[in-house]
Amino acid sequence: ELKVEQNPLFLSMQEGKNYTIYCNYSTTSDRLYWYRQDPGKSLESLFVLLSNGAVKQEGRLMASLDTKARLSTLHITAAVHDLSATYFCAVDMVLADKLIFGTGTRLQVFP
């Protein structure tokens, strides 16, 4: 059974600081997704990582994928309050299309 684990589960960080969220998964997959969710809202797609070594950046967020280590990271640079949200990574199983989500990382950025 594919399992996806994120850490930390909760992150409180000061504006201007850098931090990394980690996403580990248990079985082979070549596709890794990052989503953002604001309270009471649906999921917004941030990144789709489709191959080993893939790196994508958008604004203050950068995501990478290491399929050999079964690890993805979401790096936050110089955090701002608007980044406060819950971030989910998700993996889809080989030959299947359903997404298996991690437990989420709740990010809170304070002044």
Partner 1 sequence: DTGVSQDPRHKITKRGQNVTFRCDPISEHNRLYWYRQTLGQGPEFLTYFQNEAQLEKSRLLSDRFSAERPKGSFSTLEIQRTEQGDSAMYLCASSLDGVYEQYFGPGTRLTVT
> Can residue 103 be called a binding residue for partner 1 (CB under 8 A)?
yes
Q: Is 25 in the site for partner 1 (CB under 8 A)?
A: no
CB of 98 to partner 1, least distance (A): 4
Backbone angles phi, psi at 78, to 5 degrees: 50, 65
Instruction: Report the alpha-carbon distance of residue 17 to residue 78 in Å, rounded.
Output: 5
Cα 39 to Cα 106: distance, rounded to the nearest angstrom: 10
With respect to partner 1, which residue has the nearer C-beta, 80 or 96? Answer: 96
Q: Does 3 bind partner 1 (CB under 8 A)?
A: no
The Cα–Cα gap between 30 and 97 comes to 12
Q: 85 with 76: CB under 8 angstroms?
A: no
**What type of residue is 47?**
F
Q: Which of 65, 85, 102, 109 binds partner 1 (CB under 8 A)?
A: 102
Which stretch, 17-25, 40-48, 66-74, 77-85, contacts partner 1 (CB under 8 A)? 40-48
Residues lying near partner 1 in the complex (CB under 8 A): 4, 31, 33, 35, 41-45, 48, 50, 88, 90, 92, 96-104
